[in-house]
Homo-oligomer: A and B are copies of this chain.
Amino acid sequence: MNNEIKLFCPATVANVACGFDVLGFCLDSIGDEMVVRKTKEKGICITKIEGYDLPLEATKNVAGVAAIAMYEHAQPDCGFEIEIYKNIKPGSGIGSSAASAVGIVFGINELLGRPYNKTQLTYFAMKGEALASKSEHADNLAPALFGGFTLVKSTLPLDILEIPTPKELFATLIHPQIEIKTSEAREILPKEVSLKNATTQWANVGSLIHALHTNDYKLIHRSLEDIIVEPYRKQLIPHFDDLKFAAMQAGALGCAISGSGPSIFALSKGKDIAKRVEKAMKSMYSKTDIAYNTFVSTINTKGINIINP
């Protein structure tokens, strides 16, 4: 068995318009890299973090907290040291903390001979996510681990469903360089919603799941609507409406806030349209004084994976 493993830890989009707190999908174009190495010395030691300034101390680091939760459960005879090469900017809304948490538990599990399944790994990773967002949720973790589209039916007990991914779906992402904390994005939400709006939302969740099963792109378009969360959170993202309008005019099937933002995603049928949507987003946001970056990605149906040496 190897004593070292190198991983690609993908970025993810949570919520997917109508599926607040439960739906997510996995990206391909951007992700962290991580090296996990067995050590004789016991414990979890993060030896290096490159890319962004994050705490090396394991108990203060999302990935570290996830690793400790798993380590305490597994009680192995060895320890682990971890190097994290962050490409996903923390707070960008595409699952930066989830990628770290998933990477570390997946890596340790591989080096231990896979004692845990992916749902159990999600459970440990949630302990890390709780540090970042003040609540245990799995809507970024699940797609990062399982790949494709996932539905977190419940977190207690943890119940994760893998939803089929239509082959021609492409994602376009734009990251306006502003800061929104997940905890703040949660506080802006109302505690109560009208039964009427909630009913519309669960009709959309149901129809999106049906559309993903039947490769019905027109129905994906009609289902990617969020009348519950977007009206509140979009206030935190300058020019959201203009950006969404530009994406839809360029042919996107849908466009919404990625997770708690500030990143915004669009889904399109085919790479050409996804590229056109990217161009439209750039063109619109260039008129503002806010820095941004964009990318186009396939839907990553594998999820986290081992990088060949």
Contacts and interface: CB of A to CB of B under 8 A. Distances in A.
A56 interface: no
Contacts of A222: 153, 159
Contact of A151 (B22, B163, B192, B206): B206
Contacts of A152: 203
Contacts of A301: none
Nearest to A208: B206
Interface in A162-194: 163, 189-194
A189 B198 contact: no
Interface stretch (A13-21, A27-35, A248-256): A13-21
B200 A198 contact: no
A206 B159 contact: no
A202 interface: yes
A204 B202 CA distance: 9
A39 B276 CA distance: 58
Contacts of A193: 192-195, 198
Contact of A161 (B153, B201, B207): B207
A20 to B, nearest CB: 6
Interface residues of A, number: 38
A213 interface: yes
Contacts of A189: 195
Nearest to A201: B202
Contacts of A204: 153
A284 interface: no
A191 to B, nearest CB: 6
Contact of A198 (B151, B153, B198, B210): B198
A161 B219 contact: yes
A219 B205 CA distance: 16
Contacts of A199: 20-22
A12 interface: no
13 contacts: A20-B195, A21-B199, A151-B207, A154-B203, A161-B207, A161-B210, A161-B219, A192-B192, A192-B193, A198-B198, A198-B228, A206-B206, A209-B210
Given A20-B199, A151-B206, A161-B207, 13 more contacts: A151-B203, A151-B207, A151-B210, A153-B206, A161-B206, A189-B195, A192-B195, A195-B228, A198-B198, A205-B206, A206-B206, A206-B208, A213-B213
